[in-house]
């Protein structure tokens, strides 16, 4: 089943480009696997709030648009 990407996920993707982060870079920064981080950002998986907060802080993205 495919879930639509949230506004937060879209902001994360845009911010990764602006900061020059690859998925691997982001995953290493938040100490998670690239597959897990990708699943969270693309809306395929719902992560604990602490994990979303780590990703948001690393990318400097507001958490208010998380679905």
CA distance 1 to 57: 29
Rounded mean pLDDT, 10-23:
97
pLDDT over 90 at 65, yes or no? no
pLDDT over 80 at 40, yes or no? yes
Q: Can you give the pTM of this predicted structure?
A: 0.87
Calculate what percentage of the chain has a pLDDT beyond 70: 91
CB count within 10 Å of CB 24 equals 11
> Please, which pLDDT band fits residue 35 given cuts at 50, 70 and 90?
very high
Residues 6+ apart with CB under 8 A from 36: 27, 45, 47
């Amino acid at each position: 089943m495919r879930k639509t990407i949230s506004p937060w996920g879209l902001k994360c993707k845009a911010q990764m480009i602006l900061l020059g982060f690859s998925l691997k870079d982001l995953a290493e920064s938040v100490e998670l696997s690239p597959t897990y981080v990708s699943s969270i950002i693309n809306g395929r998986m719902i992560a604990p709030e602490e994990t979303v907060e780590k990703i948001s802080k690393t990318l400097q993205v507001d958490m208010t648009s998380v679905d």
